[in-house]
Amino acid sequence: MNNKAKELNKTFDYQIPENLENSVHLGSRVFVSFGKVKTDGYIIDFSEKSDFECKYIDRNI
């Protein structure tokens, strides 16, 4: 995620909506909701499930 706070130096899980399934891949830059703000991030891994309730990626950049 593009955030200057050092405590955010970790990964976050997001779901890929159906309309983006064929257009995102490892390294894709995406736009996501993070708390009350919208920010960009990068896809660094794919997983079949998460331990968290995930928001959807807003769009591919």
Residue-wise pLDDT for 12-58, tens only, equals: 999 999 999 999 999 999 999 998 999 999 999 999 999 999 999 99
Domains of the chain: 6-60 (3.40.1440.60)
Distance CA 11, CA 4 (A): 14
The phi, psi pair for 18, rounded to 5°, reads -50, -40
Return the closest-CA partner of residue 12 out of 38, 36, 44, 37: 44
pTM: 0.81
